[in-house]
């Protein structure tokens, strides 16, 4: 029995992946746009201010989903890179490469909004807090992945090298997640992913989850578009790409 299901094996074909990604990315983009509009309205306008932090806490509707996405994207990127390295699936490697800049963007957004949030709460933009430091390391891992990928001309060699880097960097993900429990930090503990129940009011939780879902749809829309370009670059000498260039159905 094959490890990879037949439908996934067919989808891994660059030609099939290109067509699939084009359709799905459009739908994900529109859904993300609608959810972002709803989430921002309920988060910035309709939700109440925090009883301690006031209106400054509204930045969490950007900061928290961005921080979640920074870790989610890295795990997806590492998984796709591993699949591309082990089974030599070009579409998986393209997906991993396309994920890196999007993940770096979410990580930078989480750091920037965290600094803006930290100023009124902690009195400073930056402290070498365990959560902040490990998140900064995550940004360097994304940047290192992109730098390594662009530095190696041979695509197969680059795919193996970046996959190894991504897999080694996975160890940083649980450090980010559990840093507020393992060390005494200024960063507040978990309020949504607690085992008993979230310690955040439902009027704040709903727009927060809407924004998190919106960011996920935005990620898939963006990364699928980038992956399509990557696939075209890799397959530029193949007949189906030449048919596409001539305006024929790929």
DSSP of 60-92: HHHHHHHHHHHHHHHHHHHHHHHHHHHH--HHH
Rg of the chain's alpha carbons, rounded to an integer?
20
**Residue 243 in tokens:** 């048919």
- Cβ–Cβ under 8 Å, residues 97 and 84: no
What is the rounded distance in angstroms from the CA atom of residue 189 to the CA atom of residue 137? 20
Task: Give the best-scoring range by mean pLDDT among 10-14, 44-48, 170-174, 197-201.
Answer: 170-174
Q: Which domains does the chain have, with CATH numbers?
A: 13-245 (1.20.120)
**pLDDT confidence of residue 81:** 97
What is the tens place of the pLDDT at every residue in 93-143?
999 999 999 999 999 999 999 999 888 888 888 888 888 899 999 999 999
Q: For residue 167, what are the contacts with CB-CB under 8 A and spacing of at least 6?
A: 78, 81, 82
- Cβ–Cβ under 8 Å, residues 210 and 35: yes
Phi, psi at 171, each rounded to 5°: -60, -20
- Cβ–Cβ under 8 Å, residues 40 and 61: yes
**Residue 122 in tokens:** 């902690």
**Residue 198 in tokens:** 């979230």
- Cβ–Cβ under 8 Å, residues 163 and 81: yes
Number of alpha helices (DSSP H) and beta strands (DSSP E) in the chain: 9, 0
Q: Exposed, middle or buried, 28 (CB in 10 Å: 0-12/13-18/19+)?
A: buried
What is the tens place of the pLDDT at every residue in 190-234?
565 544 556 688 999 999 999 999 999 999 999 999 999 999 998
**pLDDT confidence of residue 195:** 42
The 3-state DSSP composition of the chain as helix, strand, coil percent (nearest 5) reads 75, 0, 20
In this prediction the pTM is 0.90
Closest CA to 107 of 76, 81, 79, 143: 143
Closest CA to 34 of 220, 205, 213: 213
């Amino acid at each position: 029995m094959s490890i990879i299901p037949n439908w996934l094996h067919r989808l891994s074909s660059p030609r099939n992946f290109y067509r699939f990604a084009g359709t799905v990315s459009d739908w994900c983009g529109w859904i993300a746009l609608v959810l972002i509009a709803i989430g921002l309205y309920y988060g910035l306008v309709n939700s109440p201010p925090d009883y301690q932090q006031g209106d400054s806490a509204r930045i969490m509707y950007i900061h928290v989903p961005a921080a979640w996405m920074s870790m989610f994207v890295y795990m997806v990127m590492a998984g796709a890179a591993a699949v591309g390295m082990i089974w030599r699936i070009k579409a998986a490697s393209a997906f991993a490469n396309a994920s890196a800049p999007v993940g770096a963007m979410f990580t930078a957004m989480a750091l920037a909004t965290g600094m803006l949030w930290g100023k009124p709460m902690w009195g400073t933009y930056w402290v070498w807090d365990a959560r902040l430091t490990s998140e900064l390391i995550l940004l360097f891992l994304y940047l290192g992945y992109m730098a390594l990928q662009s530095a190696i001309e041979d695509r197969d060699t680059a795919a193996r090298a970046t996959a190894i880097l991504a897999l080694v960097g996975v160890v940083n993900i649980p450090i980010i997640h559990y840093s507020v429990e393992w060390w005494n930090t200024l960063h507040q503990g978990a309020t949504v992913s607690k085992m008993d129940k979230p310690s955040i009011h439902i009027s704040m939780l709903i727009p927060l989850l809407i924004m998190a879902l919106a960011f996920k749809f935005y990620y898939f829309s963006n990364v699928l578009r980038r992956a399509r370009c990557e696939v075209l670059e890799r397959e530029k000498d193949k007949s189906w790409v030449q048919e596409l260039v001539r305006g024929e159905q790929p």
